[in-house]
Chains A and B, each alone.
Chain A
Amino acid sequence: MAVAEEKTSPEISQEKSWHGIVLQSLKRNDISLVPYVPDRILTTLIKNLHADPFFTTFPTAREEEAVGIVSGAWMGGRRGAVLMQTSGFATLANVLASLAMPYQIPLILFVTERGTLGEFNYGQSLVCRTMRPVLDSLAMEHHTCTRLDEFEFICDRSIKQAITTQAPVALILSPLLTGGKTFDK
């Protein structure tokens, strides 16, 4: 699918970076509201979202606040997605279990993964271990994205599935995809 679309859409073929794929997948699926709590890995994506007038993108003080905002927007007929890092996801169990899941809201989360494959902060690695058990305990769809060649397929299909099935999804962006954050400063 990704290959076929590259042939028909020059706009997509220019975007070979993971963050370019996220931006184009959001746009293609008419997702224009993108609140976030930042991560260093997300810097370029956030900058490009701000630069594109299609998007309304802004920081929130907490991740669950952003989940509330996109949930309200969905009910009002506007699509959104939330960007965060692993430790931010760890604050979401209550809102996932009491808002997104029971009200059947197609919440779309992009989570840059800290805490594995070269983590230097023990606390981050412990937080990371709580993420998939929380997702699994709620039977919430999630994918760990590791390869650039699969990423557009996963992004586009997961967004469409979330919307058509009215069910939340979390896309975990592995350091294998993004390069992650390394101990060099």
Chain B
Amino acid sequence: MNNTPARNTKVMNRFDLTSRLVAKLKNEEAVVGGIGNTNFDLWAAGHRPQNFYMLGSMGLAFPIALGVALAQPKRRIFALEGDGSLLMQLGALSTIATLAPKNLTMVVMDNGVYQITGAQPTPGAVVADIVAIAIASGLGNSAWAADEDDFERLIDQSMSTAGPTLIGVRIDDKPGVGITRRDPVQIRERFMHGLGVREPL
């Protein structure tokens, strides 16, 4: 198997893709944004009460989203994660494949670098194929998005698929557009309000 980057995938932009995703959300879908740029761009795409922003715990966007998915099986959950973050927690893909929640869509923003720390390449940058890893972990509904239209098509498709979906997107090395307000308690509380778990005081 040849995993060298001969992928027929356009290099896209994180903020643009995140905005396209958010524009599609009409049913109070939850979105979990991974550490750093991934949640900065989620914030910049327009805050929603159903967004959760991580301020640490690199690699846990998918596990956190899995927990939300298991708690609220009728709600669609999206999780946005970077390739460097995912490399920290590849085992989570197998856990998700085993539990097979029907309401979880995962997006991996793959730029091959740790953009936020100075754009150093990840260990997998040249050799690893995140979508192939996901498929081998048991996530059969995993695909690279060829371009923006294909990304939107895959997002739409995931909402009616009877199992978890993973979408890989190649992105450029641009930093996030905004900066999330770093107030963890308020982020968590607003998220719980957004999910209907609690009422505001």
Contacts and interface: CB of A to CB of B under 8 A. Distances in A.
Interface of A: 33, 35, 56, 58-62, 64-78, 80, 94-95, 97-99, 102-105
- B interface, by DSSP: helix, strand, loop or mixed? helix
Interface residues of B, number: 39
18 contacts: A58-B95, A61-B91, A64-B89, A65-B89, A68-B63, A71-B64, A72-B71, A75-B197, A76-B68, A76-B69, A77-B71, A77-B72, A94-B56, A94-B57, A99-B60, A103-B184, A103-B187, A104-B184
Contact of B55 (A64, A68, A69, A102): A102
A62 B67 CA distance: 15
B70 A61 contact: no
A65 B67 contact: no
Most buried by B among A56, A61, A70: A61
Contact of B188 (A65, A68, A75, A97): A75
A59 B92 CA distance: 10
B70 A69 contact: yes
Contacts, number: 125
A59 B72 CA distance: 20
B99 interface: yes
Contacts of A68: 57, 60, 62-64, 66-67, 92
Interface of B: 30, 32, 52, 54-60, 62-72, 75, 89-92, 94-95, 98-99, 184-185, 187-188, 191-192, 195-197
Contacts of B59: 64
Given A69-B67, A102-B56, 10 more contacts: A58-B98, A61-B94, A65-B63, A71-B67, A72-B32, A75-B67, A76-B30, A78-B67, A103-B187, A105-B188
A69 B63 contact: yes
Most buried by A among B57, B69, B91, B99: B57
Contact of B66 (A62, A72, A74, A95): A72
Contacts of A59: 95
Nearest to A68: B63
